[in-house]
Amino acid sequence: MKLIFKQLFNICLLSLVSFVALAEGITVTKAYSNAMPKSVPNGAAYMRINNHTATDITLESAVADIAKVEIHTMVSHDGLMSMEQLEAIGIAANSSFELKPGGVHLMLLGLKKPLIAGESFDVRLKFNNGQTLLVNVEIAQSMQHHHGHH
């Protein structure tokens, strides 16, 4: 009887510890996308991924209802910028990684609805430790829209 009680206590303690670790482990801040004219089929999402754990983590994939999502980076070939798909993004222990314009971004391919300023959409991030994180991405008024195309 005593033994069973002790085991139950241990199980409760374990689940409490893992719950706290999940809540604090990985967070996402400043998630946004830029509004695009309806005719543009693709978009991009940017965000800061914060790894508060003592372990390196890897973002392996992302999924969304609004479009197919790929991890892209910008590379320069002979002075020309182009996009290249990445397998994953590594985020070192106790550090953060910023996805930003001109750098690593989440590519939204084949948008099912236009990116309208003031609206938002969800993206689910999948990490190598099995954790998934649902991120709400705010759609901001794009700079290009204000200044026109050059």
* Residue number with CB closer to Cu ion (24 or 84): 84
Q: Number of residues interacting with Cu ion: please give it, by CB under 5 A.
A: 3
Residue closer to Cu ion (CB basis): 83 or 117: 83
Phi, psi of 50, rounded to the nearest 5 degrees: -105, 125
Query: Residues 115, 138: contact at Cβ < 8 Å?
Result: no
Q: Which stretch binds Cu ion (CB under 5 A): 2-10, 91-99, 105-113, 131-139?
A: 105-113
Nearest CA-CA partner of 105 in 41, 43, 40, 52: 43
The neighbour count for residue 110, using CB atoms within 10 Å, is: 9
Question: CA distances (Å), 146 to each of 39, 42, 100, in order?
Answer: 17, 19, 19
CB of 31 to Cu ion, least distance (A): 16
Q: Which stretch binds Cu ion (CB under 5 A): 25-33, 50-58, 107-115, 133-141?
A: 107-115
List the interface residues with Cu ion, window 59-78 (CB under 5 A): 72
Q: How far is the CB of 79 from Cu ion (least distance, A)?
A: 19
- CB-based contact 89:97 (threshold 8 Å): yes
Are 93 and 51 within 8 A, CB to CB? yes
Residue with tokens 């670790």: 21
Tell me if 49 contacts Cu ion by CB under 5 A: no
CB-nearer residue toward Cu ion: 18 or 144? 144
For Cu ion, which residue of 28, 36, 107, 137 counts as binding (CB under 5 A)? 107
Shortest CB 59 distance to Cu ion, Å: 15
